[in-house]
């Protein structure tokens, strides 16, 4: 599983996952920052081309966007949404643990068009 983190997550999450052997990049580093601060739709198109699952706290626009894509027959490489009521946005350690567990459990699966909410990490 190859992960791409939007601006709502600290780049430190990606760096810690990289150190643990997970292919993870913050948006600001991916493709030399070419899509940093771009609309989610643009990012999802390129993330799909690069085979990267997009990880975000953006629950305002992403669910509707991927829903409209599904209705139009458009595909993405997968989306993992994080709810700040489940894992606080500033909880880097919790994000890293939860994503490590997600990758361990589901990393070899096909994530095409899949949307999943990240559960709290198991301690």
Domain ranges of the chain: 2-117
Please state whether the predicted TM-score (pTM) of the whole model is above 0.85. yes
What's the confidence (pLDDT) of residue 37? 85
45-102 pLDDT, tens digit each: 999 999 999 999 998 999 999 999 999 999 999 999 999 999 999 999 999 999 999 9
pLDDT confidence tier of residue 8, bands split at 50, 70 and 90: confident
What's the confidence (pLDDT) of residue 33? 84
Q: Could you tell me if 113 and 76 are in contact, meaning their C-beta atoms sit under 8 angstroms apart?
A: yes
- The Cα–Cα gap between 76 and 123 comes to 31
Order of all β-strands in the sheet with 79-81? 23-26, 2-5, 53-56, 79-81, 115-117
Q: What is the CATH number of domain 2-117?
A: 3.40.50
């Amino acid at each position: 599983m190859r992960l791409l983190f939007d601006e709502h997550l600290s780049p430190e999450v990606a760096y810690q996952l990289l150190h643990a052997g997970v292919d993870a990049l913050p948006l600001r580093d991916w493709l030399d920052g070419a899509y940093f601060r771009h609309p989610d739709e643009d990012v999802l198109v390129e993330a799909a081309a690069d085979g990267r699952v997009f990880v975000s706290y953006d629950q305002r626009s992403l669910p509707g966007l991927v829903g409209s894509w599904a209705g139009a027959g458009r595909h993405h490489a997968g989306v993992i949404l994080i709810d700040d009521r489940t894992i606080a946005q500033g909880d880097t350690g919790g994000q890293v643990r939860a994503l490590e567990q997600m990758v361990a459990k589901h990393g070899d699966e096909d994530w095409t068009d899949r949307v999943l909410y990240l559960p709290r990490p198991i301690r």
